[in-house]
Structure 1
Amino acid sequence: MKPAPKPLQITVYQDVLCSWCYLADLRLETLKHEFGDILRWRVRPYPLRVHDKRPTEKELRGLSQEVQRAQEEPEPAARLLTTELWRGGDAPRSSIPALAALEAARLQSPSARTQLARMMQRAALEQGINVTRTDVIFELASRAGLDMGPFSVAYHSEDTRKLILEEHELASSRGVRGVPTLVIAGRWMVCGLREVSEYREHILACLGKLYTPRPGAADRVVH
């Protein structure tokens, strides 16, 4: 009997403060149910704000405009997005603390990370709450039912932050410039928010190239 092919791995680079990632998660959820075990999903951090410094007024305007553009997407959830995170006087300085919390949650289980990520997205992007603050992070982690002792140790560990920075550097060296970005089977890259049908098309094309290769066919990066 011919063994079943290995699942196709899709790495999703995201930042919990990004409204485009918020919408991409909703669209990709459809494909997770549709493809099932054929795909293996891996979510990795890619901080848009790496350095710990207050955004300039120009940056705040740009970040607010990004949210306003995301509000125009067709999903009903897009109407829940608010610019308050960037206009409310307590704007995040860096994405690193929030992403460190997600890495700490992932050590307990992938589902714990997923749950905390969605809670953080909703708090930040629907309510305008600064989810990079330690007090907010710990309140959300507790609500998510995490084991707070191990979570605290992992969250405060310098190794966790080092991992995020190293991952950012590695992803950037491979061509990742923003989020959301999908890397399919380590070979094909899809950048930015796309329609569900377009994500599906890329996945099906990559499945075909992997499992029914044509002689002499060259790999191609999808942008």
Structure 2
Amino acid sequence: MHPLKVVFVHDVVCGWCYLLSPRLHSLAKQLNLDVHHQCFTLQASREAMLEAFGSMGDAKETILGHWEKCVAAEDTPRINIDGMRAQTFEYPHGMPGALACKAAEMQAGQQGHWRMFDRVQYAHLTESRNIGDSQVLRSLAEEIGLDMVRYDLDVLSETTQQAVEKDHHLASKLGVQSVPTLIVEDRWLINGAQPIESLRLQLQEVRQHIG
């Protein structure tokens, strides 16, 4: 069976992406999916956070409200709202994590990107760590076994920054407006963290359509 190409468009700070990733891991094995990753940071800077939410405090409270909806839809309880609410650091935007994931991809391919993405999300949504902190991200990169000399170079490189920006541009060009989104065979969009059986049905329909 020919692999079905699926691009997982995501943001490291996105709770719904946290729900979708394990579902996609399961489906990738069951349906022979060739999963690629594109970064799509909804707010790429502190300034963008302020523009979107008014203040960093309001940003955190609004986003934790979104987390409550995610908790209600989790397959396995993992999201720690109280843990994040208790932290004193500003709620992070997604760009540092996106750069870390892209740096992982540069040395370990798409699977490396996915390992880093999952680890960063776990640190953020379960462990209540500050994934806006470069040292936190560096420790996660080391934990998943990346070459740290190369990581330190790649995460700060202009090439990595451009690759993250290119991801956003390509996804937007295909009509992506929110995360998570799956782009199937560069044509079909599946939006949101849908239940696994709904995802399975839609992916099987695409496979039948393309023969």
- Tell me, yes or no, whether TM beats 0.5: yes
SS in 2 for 1:71: helix
**Counterpart residue identity of residue 99, structure 1:** A
Residues 154-193 of structure 1: CA deviation (Å, up to 9, x unaligned): 1010221122123212312321111110011111101111
**Which residue does the alignment assign to 1:41?**
35
Change (3 A) 1:95 1:184: same
List aligned pairs for 1:13-92, cutoff 5 A.
Answer: 13-36=9-32, 39-53=33-47, 55=50, 56=55, 57-78=57-78, 80-82=79-81, 84-85=83-84, 88-92=87-91
Q: How many residues in Structure 1 have an aligned counterpart in Structure 2?
A: 204
Partner of 1:218: none
2:164 is the counterpart of 1:170: no
Q: Would you say the 8 A contact 1:19–1:81 is kept in 2?
A: no
**2:73 partner SS:** coil
How far off its partner does 1:200 sit? 0.6
CA deviation vs aligned residue, 1:90-115 (integer Å, no higher than 9, x gap): 13443111111111111221333222
- Please, which runs of 5 or more residues in structure 2 have no aligned partner? none
Q: Which deviates more from structure 2 when the two are superposed, residues 115-124 or residues 69-78?
A: 69-78
In structure 2, the partner of 1:157 is 157
Work out whether residues 21 and 180 of structure 1, in 8 Å CA contact, stay in contact via their aligned partners in 2. Answer: yes
Deviations along 1:29-67, one digit per CA (max 9) or x if unpaired, are: 22112113xx21111111121223355233222201111
Contact in 2 for aligned 1:68/1:83 (Cα 8 Å): no
Corresponding residue for residue 124 of structure 2: 124
Distance change >3 Å, CA 65–CA 87, structure 1 → 2: farther
- CA-CA distance at 1:84 after TM superposition: 4.1
State the SS of the aligned residue for 2:98: helix
1:148 corresponds to: 148
Q: Using the alignment, how far apart are the partners of 1:51 and 1:173 within structure 2?
A: 22
TM-aligned CA distance change 1:92 to 1:162, over 3 Å: farther
Would you say the 8 A contact 1:96–1:161 is kept in 2?
no
Whichever residue aligns with residue 73 of structure 1, its letter is A
Match of 1:209 in 2: 209
What is the RMSD of the two structures over their aligned residues, measured on CA atoms?
1.9
Amino acid at match of 1:132: G
C-alpha distance in 2 between matches for 1:86 and 1:189:
33
For 1:83 and 1:47, how far apart are their aligned partners in 2?
24
For 2:122 and 2:70, how far apart are their aligned partners in 1?
Answer: 14
Which residue of structure 2 lines up, in the alignment, with residue 133 of structure 1? 133
Check 1:82–1:183 CA distance in 2 against 1; reply closer, same or farther (3 A cut). same
User: What is the TM-score of this pair, normalised by structure 1?
Assistant: 0.84
* Greater helix share, structure number: 2
1:108 match: 107
Residue in 2 aligned with 1:216?
none
